[in-house]
Structures are given as C-alpha cells and as structure tokens.
Amino acid sequence: MVPRRDTELVQIVDAATREAAQRAGSWLHCAPGCTQCCIGVFAIAQLDAERLRAGLADLERSDPARAAAVHDRALRAVERLAADFPGDASTGLLDEERGEEFEEFGNEEPCPALDPATGLCDLYAARPMTCRVFGLPLRTGEGLGVCELCFVGATEAEIAACELRTGSEALEAALEAETQRESGVRGETIVAWALAGR
C-alpha cells in the first residue's frame, strides 16, 4: 500500500523537476517518445514498487486492455531475466553484494511500462523517482550526472546551474521505511518484478 504522504513527495519532486527543467531550457532534450532512459533495468525502492502497482491497478480500472499489456510485458521480462537475476528471482529482491553483476544485467531490456508502439510510459503518473529526475543534472558520489543526450556541449558551470535539488530526501526515506515496515519487504527490486506480481 502506498503511504498517504507519497502524493506530497511526488508533488515536491515534480515541482523541483519542472523548475530545474526551466533553467535547463534547450539543454534538456527529454520529450515524449524519447525512450533511451526506458531501456535497461535499474533498482527501485519498495516505495516505487508500491506506487507502480497502484498505478497498474488504476490503469486496470480505466483501461483494462492497456493494463493487461503492461502486465504481460512484465511477465515476459521476468522470464527473460530470471536466470541471471542478481538476487532472489523468486521474490525479485536484489542482492546488494552482487552490485557488480547488476551493472551488466538487463542493459538492453525495455521497461515493461514502455508502450513499444507509442514510445510513451503507460504508468507515467506512477513512475519511480529515478524516472522523474532522469536527464537533469543530479548530484551523485561521482559528481553531477546527466543523460548523455542532454547538455551536449554545455560547460560544467552551465550544467551546475541546472542542478536538480528536491530537498525531499528525508521525506522519501521516511516513506520508504514506512513502506518496508507495512509490507514486511526490505530491499530493492526492478520494475518488471514489481509489476509481474499482480
């Protein structure tokens, strides 16, 4: 179950993203149909997994055929990825100690929420935090990271001027802890496993 304050978290992150995107202007090339960030698996928190499942449930009510297609794509992805899954393939929980394996895992796998016909996300409103902030300059332990399609030719100063700062880290951590406590599930997963279990 998605924590009640997740709506607040999403609003904070989306507002910060819009503001950073305005500062980025033409440096940011993200647009509907650009799917580079939708190819390749990435770890998601249990909060993201719950949000995705709730989004799929909403889609089942509004567009059952589209929801069935998302679920089918998730099931097929799990089948393709299970043999090499760097964690427990029965639960979909990643093993933190197998991080090096994860770096090479599923890099060509399309996200099950990606509609291959339209190039759009069928669960856009319920997308994980990684998807919400991708493309904009984001501070990591290695510096500022950006999508390789964006900020081409920009100077370090121009990139830094567009850095995304949400200020939502404490709220997100609290909601993740609440989600794990309520569900009894701890650890990260990937989108395919989050959606295939419905």
Indicate the DSSP class of residue 198.
-
Is 67 part of any domain? yes
pLDDT at residue 198 tops 80? no
CA angle 122, 13, 26 (to 5 degrees): 80
Q: Identify the three-state secondary structure at position 87.
A: strand
Q: Is residue 1 part of a domain?
A: no
Q: Pick from 147, 77, 148: which is nearest to 110 by CA?
A: 77
Does any domain span residue 68?
yes
- Which amino acid, one-letter code, is at 7? T
On the question of pLDDT at 151 being above 70, the answer is yes
Average pLDDT over every residue of 48-71: 98
**Would you state the structure tokens that stand for residue 11, as one six-digit string?**
């609003």
| Residue 168 domain-assigned (yes or no) | yes
User: From CA 198, how far away is CA 41, in angstroms rounded?
Assistant: 19
Q: What is the pLDDT of residue 145?
A: 87
**Percentage of the chain with pLDDT > 90?**
86
Average confidence (pLDDT) over 23-38? 89
**1-22 per-position pLDDT tens digit:** 899 999 999 999 999 999 999 9
Over its C-alpha atoms, the chain yields an Rg (Å, rounded) of 17
Domain presence at residue 191: yes
> In 3D, which of 40, 42, 44, 57 has the Cα closest to residue 1?
57
pLDDT the model gives residue 77: 98
For residue 61, is it within any domain? Answer: yes
- In Å, how far from its chain's centre is CA 4? 20
Q: Which of 45, 52, 96 is nearest to 88 (CA)?
A: 96
Whether the CB-CB separation of 52 and 123 falls below 8 Å is answered with: yes
The answer to whether position 57 is within a domain reads yes
Structural domain count, the chain:
1
**So what's the pLDDT on residue 52?**
98
Residue 24 has pLDDT above 70, yes or no: yes
Give the residue-averaged pLDDT of 123-132: 96
In a domain, 80, yes or no: yes
Q: What does the mean pLDDT of the chain come to?
A: 94
User: What three-state secondary structure class fits 139?
Assistant: strand
* Domain span including residue 19: 6-196
Angle at 174 (CA atoms; ends 169, 178), nearest 5 degrees: 145
